[in-house]
Structure formats: C-alpha cells, structure tokens
Structure 1
Amino acid sequence: MIRKLNGLKAACAAAAMLLALPATAAECIAPADPGGGWDFTCREVGRLLSQEGLVEGNVQVTNMPGGVGAVAWANVAGKRADDPELLVATSTVGVTQIAQGKYPSDIDTMRWLGMLGADVGVIAVAKDSPFQSLDDVLAAMKQDPASVVTAGSTGAGGWDHIRLMMLAQEGGIEDLSQIRWVQFDGGSPAVTQMMGGQVGLVSTDLGEIKGFVESGDIRVLAVLSDDPISAFPDLPTAKAQGYDVTGYNWRGFYTGGEVSDEAYATWVDRLQKLYESDGWQETAKSHGLEPIWRGGEEFSAYVAQQEQQMADISRRIGVIQ
C-alpha cells in the first residue's frame, strides 16, 4: 500500500511538472513567401516566444503562400481547426480580403488571438499645398469629391484606398465612388508624384514615407491612430480633429476555430506577455511598427468591426456587390 501511495505521489508530481512547463508552439504559418510582413511576424514573434521562455523549444515557421492568405486559411479550416499548437500570421490585408469575399469563409471560421503592432496610416499633402488641415481637404472633397486627386500604394479597394474612404465617409462625403484615386508602386513614389503636383493627397503607411516627413517636404494632416505615435508625437491624429477613424495595418495572429477555450486563453496570455517584453518593444520599433496591443475578445470584436467597415466601404465604391 505504501509503495502504491508513493507511486501515486510520484505520478502526481510528474504530472504537475509537465503542467508547469510552457507548451510547445509547434508551428507558425506565414501565408506568404519568405521576406514579407507575414513572414517577419512569424519569425520575430517565434524567436521572442522562445527567447522569453513563453514556449518550450523553437517555433517552426512554415511559409504557405497563395491567394493573399486564402490558401493557408483553407488549410487550417479544413485540416487543423482544433490544433492548439498552431499560430497563423495575418494583418489588416487579410481582413480586407475576407471582407471582399476573397477567402473561402468568413471571419467566424477562426479564433482571433491578438495584434502586437501596426504600421500606422497617414494622410499627407505637399508642404506647399493649399490644404492646411484635415478639415480643409475634407471640406473641398465634400463640395466636389473629384476635386482632389488622391493616391497610395494599393489599387481601388486596397487598404490605402479604403482607409481614405473611411475618413471621407466620416467627413460626410456621400458619393465615395467619385473620389479620384491613383495607384503607385509604394508610398514613396506616390509622395514623389505629389511633390511634383500630379496628385494632391497621399494615403499610405507612415513607415513608407518617414524620410519625407523628417525632411519637411510634406505635411501630415492626420495620423490614423488612437493616440499620437511615439516616433512623431507632434503629428495630429484624426481622432483629435473630430474624425473617429483609425487606419492600422496591424500585425497579429489567428488560430483554428475549434481550438479549446483553455488553449485560446493561454495563447492570448502568452502574446500579451510577449508584447509587454522589452524584446518586442525594441523589435517592433526598429522595424517601423508602432507597438499596439489588442487581444482576446477585444481583438475579436475589433476584427469584426473592421471587417464590417471594409465590406460597407467596398460596396459603396463598387468593389463588391
């Protein structure tokens, strides 16, 4: 009997030790080729999860390009919906695709874990532009939506375009389809054309045009964030000017829709701890990201709201029916 009791105690102790160990993150899927934003998200977060002792061992990164994330989405939904050791990198770009019906199912197919940082959208004009404020440019566009040629690094219905449309909608412009939009291969070429007088306004990520802001060649009329950003705290937010619009190109993760509540909560907790670490704060800022945390149910609600906004805007500009 004593031997049995001792054996039971040993088994319980061993079980307790196993429970105390951090779970292994077997894999992070980057739904794109190596070198892009989703690949960076998986590799840097995976490295830091191991470095901070939040998981045991190394995180395996698997690149699964195709359909701007749709291939990875379908793979997880069909084969790994209940895998508690799987993370998938995603961003605002992915949610835009879902909102426009380009993924095989809607956002409720997955469980949304958290966002750790974002490229922040800005609305900028040339330094000699007649528009001195966000009010000025929105008033001109409200009077005549085609009066200002706008530009960015995505096509109509892409994120640069949609966040400008969100701002225009907030500013009371009714016929969004009349706003003139020109696509360039990046924020920097768009700004160069704006400085030459070919376009009047640029909507893009701050990280893409940071050098122009520092040189004073352009004026930022609005930063599309909740709060002033750390790199340029004096730049005004749209919210501070009375327009309740954010334009984050966030970086974050989802996991399979059948993952247990316990596994889901564990991942949210790990990611929040990683976000709070000095390692992530330094990594994010060194790569031009503003550290921003939304996790768990708050993040899920934010994704749902963002998807709804994008779908509404996409219908209004004729990208979807």
Structure 2
Amino acid sequence: MKIAALKYCVAGLLLASSAALADVTAPECIAPAKPGGGFDLTCRVAQTGLAAQFDKPIQVTFMPGGIGAVAFSQFNTTRTDDPNAIVAFSSGSLLNIATGKFGEFTENDVRFLATVGADFGAVVVRADSNFETLDDLMAVFKENPAEVVVGAGGSVGSQDWMKGALLLKSVESSPRDMRYVSFEGGGEALAALLGGSIDMVTADVGEVITHLEAGNIRVLAVLSPERLDAPFDQIPTAIEQGYDVEWTIMRGFYMGNNVPDADYQTWADAFAKAYETEEFRKIREEKGLLPLNLSGAELDTKVKQRIGELRQIARDAGLIK
C-alpha cells in the first residue's frame, strides 16, 4: 500500500509539473501604450523572434495608460499569476518605478524576465569642442559643473538627465549643480549642440550615428559596460576611462510576481534559445537594437539593483523624498 501510494504521489507530482509547463498555452505580449511606439517594437521582436518556441503565435495586446502605469498596476492586482502574459518595459519604465510614478507597487512586485536588445548612452560634444577627451570634461564637472551647459531630449529626472547626473556623481559633484537644458527630443538637442548654444549632449548611441559619420560630433565615451562592436569599437567606455558610469537603454519584459516558477522558467528558456537563432538576431537588427541577451534570475537581479541605484540618485537630487 505504501509503495502504491508513493507511485500515485510521484505520478501526481509529474502531472502537476507538466500542467505547470502546459499553462503557457496562449502566449501574449502586453505593449503598455498605443500601437507604433517602443513598447510595440519590443513586443514585435518577441513575436517574431520566439515564433519557433511556442505552439501558438504570440498575440500582441495594447494597454495604454500612464506610460506603463496601467499595465504595471494590473499585473500587481488581477493578473499576478498569469503564465501566458509578458509585459514590455524599457529603462524609462525602471526610472518611473524608482521615482514612484507607478504608484504603491515597486520593482519587488514583479519578476523581470528577459531582454530583446538595447541602446547605450553616449557623451557627445561638437567636433571642434575644447573637450577633446572625457577627462577634460570631467575635470570641469569636478571643479565647477555650472561651466558646462548640458542638453538632452528630456526634462529633469528623465533618462537623459540621469546620464548627466551619473557623470557628476562619479566625480563627487552634486547632480543639483548640473546646468541642464531640456529639449523636446534628441534631434533638437543635437541641433542645439551643433549650433553652439550648449556644450554637450547626453544622447543615445543609436541617435548620433549620422552625425558621427558626417564628422560633426565627437563621442567622448559610450556608457556601455564594454566596448561596442563596429562602427563604435574605437570609442572608449566611461568605465575604462576610470569613471563608473553606465547607462543601458534596456528593452525587455516582466511577468506577474505570482507566476509559477516553472512557467517563468519556460519563458526564460525560450528567450535563451531564441538569442542563438538567426531569426532573432535579424529582427533585433531590423528594429535598430544592439545585442543585450539577459534572461531569468540574472536579469531580475540586475534590474532590481539598477532601480535601487536610480532611486538613490533621484533622492540625492531632491526629486523624491
């Protein structure tokens, strides 16, 4: 009787495990905005890049509201254990979480799943700037930050502002002392730089390619963990120049906090497999993203650490209490 009972118990556990894995039967990607934006792009990469990993195609659903706040709230209330759904996020989402713009819920109330690609920050000056190296710029930031007029496509507290704040913090200057000019977008900021009304721009690598090719600008550093591939392989990182500044513009997904481990891992494994395929690499390149392959617990840990860092910077700058 004991042996029979044990057999039934083992069989039950196997069935439960299979059922947990089988729960991912209607894969869905939530783009927390209207069609056509960055979240839509993120879901399309997953939809195409993971097509071979599931029996059914991934459905893209749009859930606009609060630049991600509505979706974040829903996956912290009514859909915390949904095994089928993944929700697109960006580095902007992480900043919103850090500064409390997503309400009472924090990074610990979801599970970050996987990335589809990234862009990286860049420190940009005119080609004829007196700042010939990052050291030249940082020396001024250390002694008198207000001498440098920094411009970018975003308001105080935005991603681009954060890049500048990190640069100042790396030389023990206060982000409050940054002389910052906000523009509607990166293109307008770069135009102001070329026109001479500002001294530098905290930009993204992807948005400065044409100006770099034209010889109009000088990129003092990329804010990536390691040097990028060509055509950016000749540009040093801030880290290798001695400044602990990194800004990855990450695109990826999270899931509800109560999703069973087996289902979370099914999705994480699907992304890990997709990263090795030509189909995934092709769609990522078509969407203008650079490689960033992180999934599962590694990504979850990394993202939650980053949000903690952003929260502290915002607090130091007086943006939050």
TM-score (norm 1): 0.90
One-letter code aligned to 1:34: P
How far apart, CA to CA, are the structure 2 residues paired with 1:128 and 1:39? 39
Contact 2:125/2:193 (<8 A) preserved: yes
Following superposition of structure 1 onto structure 2, how do residues 73-222 of structure 1 map, counting pairs within 5 Å? 73-104=72-103, 105-173=105-173, 175-222=174-221
CA distance in 1 between counterparts of 2:25 and 2:250 reads 25
Fraction of identical pairs, as percent: 39
Q: How far is 1:24 from its partner?
A: 3.0
Residue-by-residue CA offset, 1:28-72 (whole Å, 9 max, x unaligned):
10001101111111122112212xx10112111111111110100
Which digits, 9 at most, give the CA deviation of each residue in 1:86-122, with x for residues without a partner? 1000011101000001112001110111222111110
- SS of aligned partner of 1:293: coil
- Residue equivalent to 2:272: 272
Q: CA deviation at 1:245?
A: 2.0
How far apart are residue 171 of structure 1 and its match?
2.3
Q: 1:17 to 1:78 in 2, by over 3 A?
A: closer
Does 1:315 pair with 2:315? yes
Q: CA deviation at 1:138?
A: 1.0
What corresponds to 1:306 in structure 2? 306
* CA distance 1:21–1:216, change in 2 (3 Å): same
Q: Is the 8 A contact 2:17 2:262 kept in 1?
A: no
Task: Look up the match of 1:40.
Answer: 41
- The total of aligned residue pairs comes to 305
**Residues in 1 aligned to 2:114 and 2:17: alpha-carbon distance in whole angstroms:** 29
What residue identity is the alignment partner of 1:47?
T
- How far the C-alpha of 1:167 sits from its partner, in A, is 2.1
**Deviations 1:143-179 (Å, cap 9, x if unpaired)?**
1111100011111100011122112211222x22011
Distance 1:20 1:316 in 2: 44
Shift of 1:207: 1.2
Which residue in 2 is equivalent to 1:261?
261
Task: Report the CA distance between 1:264 and its aligned residue.
Answer: 1.1
Structure 1 residues without counterparts, runs of 5 or longer: 1-14
Q: Secondary structure at the match of 2:130?
A: coil
Deviation of 1:75 after TM superposition, in Å, equals: 1.1
Which AA in structure 2 matches 1:246? E
The amino acid that maps onto 1:89 is A
Please, which runs of 5 or more residues in structure 2 have no aligned partner? 1-15
SS at match of 1:167: helix
Separation in structure 2 between the aligned mates of residue 112 and residue 268 of structure 1, nearest angstrom: 10
| 1:225 counterpart residue number | 224
| C-alpha contact (below 8 Å) 1:152/1:160 kept by paired residues | yes
1:212-271 residue CA offsets vs partner (Å, 9 max, x unmatched): 011110000010111222241111111111122211111000000001111111111111
Q: Are the equivalent residues in 2 in contact too, given 1:122–1:224 (CA < 8 A)?
A: yes
- 8 Å Cα contact 1:30-1:38 kept in structure 2: yes
Q: CA RMSD in A?
A: 2.1
Q: Distance in 2 between matches of 1:124 and 1:225?
A: 14
SS of equivalent to 2:145: coil
Tell me, yes or no, if the aligned pair for 1:124 and 1:203 is still in contact at 8 Å: yes
Distance verdict in 2 for CA 1:168–1:27, change over 3 Å: same
Q: Letter of the aligned partner of 1:136 in structure 2?
A: D
Partners of 2:136 and 2:261 lie apart in 1 by 48
